[in-house]
A and B are shown apart, each in its own frame.
Chain A
Amino acid sequence: MSRYVIEVGNRPIKEVNEDIQAAAKTHRALLIRNTLSRHNLGIGLPKGVDVAFEGSVGYYCGGLNNGATITVEDDAGWGVGEGMDAGHITVGGYAGMSAGAAMRGGLIHIRGDAGPRIGVAMKGGNIIVEGKIGSQAGFMSHAGKIIALGGAGASCADALWQGEVWVAGEIEGLGVDAKVVEPTAEQVAEVDALLEPLGLVDSSRNWRRIISGQRLWYFESRDANAWLMI
């Protein structure tokens, strides 16, 4: 695919993002080069554009995505896809803290591991991690699925609301009010339907579906000591 090229280097990020937004109106595919792990790249991109970032990016890449397809070649810093509404973000390597924080829709696909608090406060959409997810995954998430093909760190699904964390590998520990339940065949089929376009379906996986125990939903301050985990 022929891509319209935009250089980042040491240019002001506001200027780079204005260039990306302008190019997205006339080109369907963009290549962002020389990213130097800079922050806030590709914010609020529209539906219909395919943006590839060469190398690694810094914080909040693809934040507030409105439907673009975004690919990060290597690693992404904290908050990749934060607050995104729609679209598809792929991170080729590691994604730092709070990937997909408060996202409302779309899909984030991380080929490597992910840092702590992935999907914190997410309101919708789905996150698929081929590696391990860090501690406190899904912290206070309200909706959507975080799916880890690898393991999970400590305090997994801490203070979860109505989101779900799916883990195929080892779980170091569950968070406050998190509960492991056996998924139904129908629920596994829903997850496989998300994995299938990525070629990641494996029927031999031993899924653990983690949901809220719902006791924190009715929190009373007099019970606070019972919830102290750390």
Chain B
Amino acid sequence: MCGIAGRILGKTGDVGTDLVDLMDAQAHRGSDSTGFAVYGPPRESGFVVRAMGFNRAMLGQDLDDFHHILKEHGADFLENPTWDASTDKHYSVRMVISEPLSVARWIHEADTICTRFEVQSVGKSLEIIKDDGDAATVAEKHHVRGMIGTHGLGHARLATESAVRPNASHPFWARPFPDVAIVHNGQITDYYNWCQRLERQGYRFLTQNDSELIAVWVSDQISKGLTLQEALSLSIKQIDGVFTYMIADLNGIGFAKDRFAMKPLATIQQDGAFCAATEEQALRRVYPQKMKIINYDGPSITGIWGHGEQAA
């Protein structure tokens, strides 16, 4: 049991606040860890990178090594990196970089130091913030309520099949596809088989979390020519398990639900804005007034919501 949420605003606004409220209302679904994928105003050039280091004492060395690899791929910091001010052993870093010659090749090499410094998102717009603890704890530590943007995802994790570690939290970035992130409620039972197949194609998975697969799986299908809608539908047929997942990119949010209809999803759609959550009571934090709720309780359902439009 985990809790997931998605939010699309009709325009740029306080999406961080809404995501925190949505996840705070679902903290009981899993307070092992909480995470947010926030899509801020897209940059015209360069990327925002979010990363996590696992030993704060190594912060300086980690950034030097990361910077060195970045420069080898034709890019550099555009702003000085910033990091959280906690005393936790692990730390989270935000960096703004110019564009590497190849994101895939750069990330492949940057991941050679992933056991001590793990890149968690790369995007023109996407920033993934995740950590141990419930929504209120993570939001306060990483100032999520202050983040503005157009849309985003949230996740509260009840760990079942992999370790409780800050980097095994959701959302997961679709390594190495910029600006693609997922949140997932459920279990993927053929995770290892699919990971092995994708690893043979050159993809890399950094955690033992089954959800990490989905983002890469969908993005891989799209890179081979499928539309997002086609990839979502195919995932229901090809990925085994019980799941409701949401995947976001620069344009909006899509979701898919398994054949067994085991995991809920309730939504409110109004005037180009959209709000989704595992539990309806979470939606009421954002829309306390009486609103029409659309429940996607049935099996084998997909949908896509973009800015100002709906195509479920």
* B290–A55 CB distance below 8 A: yes
**Residues A11-38 near B (CB distance < 8 A):** 36-38
Please, how many residues of chain A have a CB less than 8 angstroms from a CB on the other chain? 24
CB distance from B244 to the nearest CB of A (A): 12
* A59–B261 CB distance below 8 A: no
CB distance from A124 to the nearest CB of B (A): 24
Q: How far is the CA of A154 from the CA of B290 in the complex (A)?
A: 31
Closest to A155 in B: B299
CB distance from B297 to the nearest CB of A (A): 4
Cβ of A134 within 8 Å of any chain B Cβ, yes or no, is yes
Q: How far is the CA of A229 from the CA of B290 in the complex (A)?
A: 40
Cβ of B288 within 8 Å of any chain A Cβ, yes or no, is yes
* A135–B298 CB distance below 8 A: yes
Q: Which of A39, A58, A97 contacts B297 (CB 8 A)?
A: A97
* B284–A37 CB distance below 8 A: yes
* B298–A134 CB distance below 8 A: yes
Inside 8 A of A131's CB, which chain B residues have their CB? Answer: none
Cβ of A77 within 8 Å of any chain B Cβ, yes or no, is yes
Closest to A154 in B: B299
Most buried by B among A37, A75, A136: A37
Inside 8 A of B216's CB, which chain A residues have their CB? Answer: none
- Chain A window 57-86, contacts with chain B (Cβ cutoff 8 Å), 1 for yes, 0 for no: 011000000000000001101100000000
CB distance from B287 to the nearest CB of A (A): 10
Inside 8 A of B295's CB, which chain A residues have their CB? Answer: 75, 94, 96, 115
**Residues B272-304 near A (CB distance < 8 A):** 279-281, 283-284, 288, 290, 293, 295, 297-299
CB distance from A121 to the nearest CB of B (A): 15
Q: How far is the CA of A230 from the CA of B297 in the complex (A)?
A: 17
Inside 8 A of A119's CB, which chain B residues have their CB? Answer: none
Cβ of B307 within 8 Å of any chain A Cβ, yes or no, is no
* B293–A56 CB distance below 8 A: yes
Cβ of A116 within 8 Å of any chain B Cβ, yes or no, is yes
Q: Which of B284, B293, B299 contacts A116 (CB 8 A)?
A: B299
Q: How far is the CA of A4 from the CA of B280 in the complex (A)?
A: 26
* A96–B264 CB distance below 8 A: yes
* B298–A58 CB distance below 8 A: no
* A97–B259 CB distance below 8 A: no
Q: How far is the CA of A58 from the CA of B288 in the complex (A)?
A: 14
Can you identify 15 A-B contacts, CB atoms within 8 angstroms? A37-B283, A37-B293, A39-B279, A56-B293, A74-B290, A77-B279, A77-B280, A94-B293, A115-B297, A116-B299, A117-B261, A134-B261, A153-B298, A230-B259, A230-B260
Given A37-B280, A37-B283, A116-B261, 16 additional A-B pairs, CB 8 A: A36-B281, A37-B279, A37-B281, A39-B279, A39-B281, A77-B279, A78-B264, A96-B295, A97-B261, A115-B261, A115-B295, A115-B298, A116-B299, A134-B261, A230-B259, A230-B260
